[in-house]
Structure 1
Amino acid sequence: MKKKLLQFITYLLFINGSISAQLQKPVLHDSLFSTYYHQRVTLFKSIPQTKGDIIFWGNSITDGNEWAELFADLRIKNRGISGDVTAGLIHRIDEIINRRPAKVFLLIGTNDLARGIASDSVVKNILWIADYLKQEIPATKLYVQSIFPVNSSFGKFAGHMSKAEEVKKVNDQLSRNAMAHHYFFIDLYSSLVDADGWLDARYTNDGLHLTGEGYMLWKHLIYPYVYDRPKQASLIPLPQNIEWKKEKFPLYASNAIVINDKAILKEARLLQHEMQRIGKTLQIIDRAVATDPQIELKLGKVDAPQSSEAYHLIVNASKITLTANTAHGIFNGLQTLFQCMRSGVMVDGCEIKDWPQFSWRGYMVDVGRNYQSMDLLKQQIEIMSHYKLNIFHFHLTEDVAWRLAFRQYPKLTAPQNMLRDKGLYYSENELNELIAFCKERYITLIPEIDMPGHSAAFTRAFGFDMQSDSGLAIVKNILKEFCATYDVPYLHIGGDEVKITNKNFLPEITALIHRHNKKTIGWDPGGNLDKKTIRQLWMKDGAVDKACTYIDSRHLYLNHMDPLESVVTIFHRQLGDRMKEDKNISGGTLCIWHDRRVAKEDDFLKMNPVYPGMLAFSERSWRGGGYQGWITNFIQSKADTAFTQFEQRLMEHRDQYFCGLPFPYVKQSFTVWNLYGPYENSGNLSKCFEPENKSFNESKSVSSLYVTGGTIVLRHWWHPLVQGVIMNPKENTTWYATTRLWSDEDGFKDFWIGFNNLSRSPATDTPPVGKWDEKESAVWVNGKPVSPPVWKRGGQKGDSEIPLQDEGYEYRAPTKIYLEKGWNSVLIKAPVGTFKGADWQNPVKWMFTFIPADGVSTME
Structure 2
Amino acid sequence: MDSIRSSIWAFLILLLISHFTVFGQSEKLLPKPYQASFGNAKLVIKGDKEDFKSKLTEWISVPRDGSYNFEDVQVSVQWVEKLNGIDVNKEESYLLEVTAEQIAIQAVKQQGAFYALQTLLQLADEKEGNLVFPESRILDRPAFRIRGFMHDVGRSFIPVEELMKQIEILSSYKINVFHWHFTEDLAWRLESRLFPELTADENFERFPGEYYTQEDVRKLIDFAKRHHVTVIPEIDMPGHSAAFQRAFGYDMQSKEGKEILKALLTEAGDLFAGLPYFHIGTDEVRFTDPDFVPEMVAFVRAMGFKVVSWNPGWDYKAGEIDLLQLWSYRGKAPEGIPFVDSRFHYINHFDAFADLVSLFRSNVAGYDIGSETVAGSILAVWNDRKLNDWKQIIRENNFYPAMLTFAERLWQGGGEGYFDETGVLLPEPGTPAWESFADFEDRLLWQRDHQFENFDFPYYKQRDMEWLVLPPLANQGNLDLEFDFEDDLKKGQVPTEMLAKTIHVKGAGTYLRHVWGTLVPAAISNPQPNHTAFVIGKVYSPEERAVNVAIVFQDYSRSEKDLPPPQGAWDWKGSKVWINGEPIPAPIWENSHTEKTNEIPLQNENWQSRPAQRVVLKKGWNTILLKLPVGQFQTEELRLVKWMWKLVILGEDGKEAGGLRWDNSKIESK
In the superposition, the TM-score normalised over structure 2's length comes to: 0.87
Residue 471 (structure 2) pairs with residue 677 (structure 1): yes
Alignment map for 1:378-457 (pairs within 5 Å): 378-457=164-243
Residue identity in the other structure for 1:603: Q
**Mapped partners of 2:91, 2:303: distance in 1:** 26
Does residue 826 (structure 1) correspond to residue 620 (structure 2)? The answer is: no
**2:244 aligned with 1:461, yes or no?**
no
1:688 equivalent among 464, 467, 482: 482
How far, CA to CA, are the matches of 1:408 and 1:685 in structure 2?
58
Q: Residue 139 of structure 2 is aligned with which of 343, 347, 353?
A: 353
Please give the alpha-carbon distance, in whole angstroms, between the structure 2 residues aligned to 1:333 and 1:738: 47
Q: 1:544, 1:687 → 2: CA distance?
A: 48
What SS does structure 1 have at the residue aligned with 2:388? Answer: coil
Specify the code of the residue in structure 1 equivalent to 2:465: T
The structure-2 alpha-carbon separation of the partners of 1:248 and 1:402, relative to structure 1 and needing over 3 Å to count, comes to same
The answer to whether the Cα contact below 8 Å between 2:349 and 2:515 also exists between their aligned partners in 1 is no
Pairs within 5 Å for 1:80-159: none
The aligned runs of 1:696-707 (5 Å cut-off) are 697-698=493-494, 700-702=496-498, 703-707=501-505
Identify which range, 546-555 or 830-839, moves more after superposition.
830-839
Secondary structure in structure 2 of the residue aligned to 1:394: strand
2:67/2:77 contact within 8 Å kept: no
**Structure 2 counterpart SS, 1:449:** strand
Q: Are 1:717 and 2:515 counterparts?
A: yes
- Report whether the alignment pairs 1:799 with 2:597: yes
Q: Distance in 1 between matches of 2:618 and 2:59?
A: 54
Question: Which stretch of structure 1 is more off in the superposition, 245-254 or 448-457?
Answer: 245-254
Paired residue secondary structure (1:711): coil
Is 1:374 aligned to residue 374 of structure 2? no
Structure (1 or 2) with the greater strand fraction: 2
**Contact map agreement 2:65 2:79 (CA 8 A) in 1:** no
Name the counterpart of 2:426. Answer: 634
Q: How many residues align?
A: 614
Contact 1:365 1:395 in 2 (8 A): yes
Equivalent residue of 2:548, what SS?
strand
Q: Partner amino acid for 1:522?
A: S
Which residue is 2:346 aligned to? 557
Residues 1:470 and 2:264 aligned together: no
* Displacement of 1:744: 3.2
1:219 is matched with none
Q: Please report how far the alpha carbon of residue 540 of structure 1 lies from its aligned counterpart in structure 2 after TM superposition.
A: 3.1
Q: In structure 1, what is the equivalent of residue 14 of structure 2?
A: none
C-alpha spacing 1:785/1:701, structure 2 compared with 1 (3 Å) = farther
Q: Which structure has the highest helix share of the two?
A: 1
Amino acid at match of 2:458: P
Name the CA shift for 1:365/1:354 in 2 (closer, same or farther; >3 Å): same
* 1:695-716 CA-partner distances (Å, limit 9, x unpaired): 7643714220001111310011
- Tell me the distance in 1 between the aligned counterparts of 2:402 and 2:338: 25
- Give the structure 2 partner of residue 123 of structure 1: none
Q: Distance in 1 between matches of 2:65 and 2:333?
A: 51
Larger displacement relative to structure 2 (532-541 or 236-245): 532-541
Residue 267 of structure 1 aligns with which residue?
A: 57
Per the alignment, residue 268 of structure 2 pairs with 482
Q: Which amino acid aligns with 1:239?
A: P
Deviations 1:575-617 (A, max 9, x none): 1211111232110001101222222221111111110010001
For residue 179 of structure 1, what is the aligned residue in structure 2?
none
Q: Tell me which of 389, 393, 410 is aligned to 1:600.
A: 389
Aligned to 2:11: none
Select the residue among 607, 614, 623 that pairs with 1:816. Answer: 614
Q: How does 1:616-627 map to 2 (within 5 A)?
A: 616-627=405-416
Question: Please, which of 279, 292, 312 is the counterpart of residue 525 of structure 1?
Answer: 312
Q: Deviations along 1:763-818, whole A, 9 cap, x unmatched? A: 11111110111111111111111111011124644321111110011221111111
For 2:494, the aligned partner's letter is E
Q: Distance in 2 between matches of 1:856 and 1:749?
A: 7
AA aligned opposite 1:556: H
The equivalent of 2:327 in structure 1 is 538
Residue of 51, 56, 77 corresponding to 1:297: 77
2:579 maps to which residue? Answer: 781
Q: Which of 590, 608, 611 is equivalent to 2:400?
A: 611
Does residue 333 in structure 1 map to residue 116 in structure 2? yes
1:723-751: per-residue Cα shift (whole Å, max 9, x none)? 11101112222111111222233221111
Please tell me the residue identity of whatever aligns with 1:723: P
Distance 1:728 1:528, change over 3 A: closer
**Secondary structure of 2:472's match?**
strand
Give per-residue Cα distances to partners, 1:439-482, cap 9 Å, x unaligned: 00011111100000100000000112111111011111111222
What's the offset of the Cα at 1:269?
Answer: 4.5
Task: Confirm or deny: 8 A CA contact 2:573 2:629 kept in the other structure.
Answer: yes
Q: 1:285 to 1:508 in 2, by over 3 A?
A: closer
* Unmatched runs of 5 consecutive residues or more in structure 2: 1-23, 663-670
Q: Do the aligned partners of 1:459 and 1:466 also contact (CA within 8 Å) in 2? A: yes
**Contact 1:233/1:339, CA 8 A, preserved across alignment:** no
Question: What SS class does the counterpart of residue 322 from structure 1 fall into?
Answer: strand
Aligned AA for 1:342?
A: D
The 8 Å contact of residues 472 and 533 in structure 2, kept in 1 or not, is answered as yes
Question: Deviation of residue 265 (structure 1)?
Answer: 8.2
| Inter-CA distance 428–446: structure 2 relative to 1 (3 Å threshold) | same
Relative distance call for 1:691 and 1:615 in structure 2 (3 A) is: farther
TM-score by length of 1: 0.68
- Inter-partner Cα distance in structure 2 for 1:315 and 1:373: 39
Counterpart in 1 of 2:20? none
**Contact in 1 for aligned 2:65/2:78 (Cα 8 Å):** no
Distance of aligned partners of 1:743 and 1:291 in 2 relative to their CA distance in 1, 3 Å threshold? closer
Kindly indicate whether the alpha-carbon contact (under 8 Å) linking 2:634 and 2:640 is maintained by their aligned counterparts in 1.
yes
Aligned to 1:590: 379
Cα displacement string for residues 38-60 of structure 1 (whole angstroms, at most 9, x for unaligned residues) = xxxxxxxxxxxxxxxxxxxxxxx
Q: Is the 8 A contact 1:765 1:842 kept in 2?
A: no
Q: Which residue of 1 aligns with 2:552?
A: 754
For 1:297, give the aligned amino acid: V
- Name the structure 2 match of 1:10: none
Q: How does 1:175-186 map to 2 (within 5 A)?
A: none
CA distance in 1, matches of 2:316, 2:347: 26
Distance 1:460 1:784, change over 3 A: same
CA contact (8 A) 2:149 2:379 kept: yes
User: CA-to-partner distance for each residue in 1:207-257, whole Å, 9 max, x for gaps?
Assistant: xxxxxxxxxxxxxxxxxxxxxxx86341111001011211111123899x9
Shift of 1:687: 2.0
Q: Distance in 1 between matches of 2:284 and 2:294?
A: 17
1:254·1:295 contact (CA, 8 Å) conserved in 2?
A: no
SS at match of 1:470: helix
Q: Which protein has the larger Cα radius of gyration, Structure 1 or Structure 2?
A: 1
Residue 448 (structure 2) aligned to one of 638, 654, 658: 654
Identity of aligned pairs, percent? Answer: 35
**Structure with the greater relative contact order (CA < 8 A, sep ≥ 6): 1 or 2?**
2
Q: Deviations over 1:410-431 (max 9, x none)?
A: 1111111001111111111111
**Alignment CA distance shift 1:448-1:253 (3 Å):** closer
Q: CA deviation at 1:533?
A: 3.0
Superposed, 1:117-266 pairs within 5 Å as 232-252=26-46
Distance 1:814 1:762 in 2: 24
**Which amino acid is the alignment partner of residue 372 of structure 2?**
K
Distance 1:846-1:319 versus aligned 2 partners, 3 A rule: same
Amino acid at match of 1:621: L
Q: Distance in 2 between matches of 1:697 and 1:619?
A: 41
Q: Could you tell me which residue of structure 2 aligns to residue 512 of structure 1?
A: 299
Which string of whole-angstrom CA distances, capped at 9 and with x for unpartnered residues, describes residues 355-391 of structure 1?
A: 0110011110011111111121111111121111111
Partners in 2 of 1:288 and 1:478 — Cα distance? 46
**SS state at 2:591 partner:** coil
User: Does 2:618 correspond to 1:851?
Assistant: no
Matched residues in 1 for 2:56 and 2:102: separation? Answer: 21
